[in-house]
Amino acid sequence: QQPVQSPQAVILREGEDAVINCSSSKALYSVHWYRQKHGEAPVFLMILLKGGEQKGHEKISASFNEKKQQSSLYLTASQLSYSGTYFCGTEYRDDKIIFGKGTRLHILP
């Protein structure tokens, strides 16, 4: 049931864009995105509910395709502060929130 994230790791230069994907084999109720910096607790970025909506701010946004049971996180013009591990969490009808293995993002100056 664990969602599959890709890629496993990304190295970017400051200002470049990145896309992180998350896919599930089960029908999804919602998708969560979190970022975790080393030694810290994960921090909430956004949640997307059924409906194919796209959410987010100017530089960090996400989409949710419920037919394909996939979500993508878009990081535009990346900043050094974006470094960390990104997790997608998939929520199903039974209220469980299951996380993927994470995508490590490293931004170089």
Partner 1 sequence: DGGITQSPKYLFRKEGQNVTLSCEQNLNHDAMYWYRQDPGQGLRLIYYSQIVNDFQKGDIAEGYSVSREKKESFPLTVTSAQKNPTAFYLCASSWTGELFFGEGSRLTVL
**Which stretch, 18-26, 40-48, 52-60, 63-71, contacts partner 1 (CB under 8 A)?**
40-48
Q: Are 89 and 64 in contact (CB under 8 A)?
A: no
CA distance 36 to 29: 23
Query: How many residues form the binding site for partner 1 (CB under 8 A)?
Result: 23
CB 99, CB 44: distance < 8 Å: no
Output the smallest distance, CB 14 to partner 1, in A: 26
Residue of 34, 64, 66, 71 interacting with partner 1 (CB under 8 A): 34
Show contacts with partner 1 in window 65-94 (CB under 8 A).
Answer: 87, 89, 91, 94
Residues that bind partner 1 (CB under 8 A): 1-2, 30, 32, 34, 40-44, 47, 87, 89, 91, 94-102
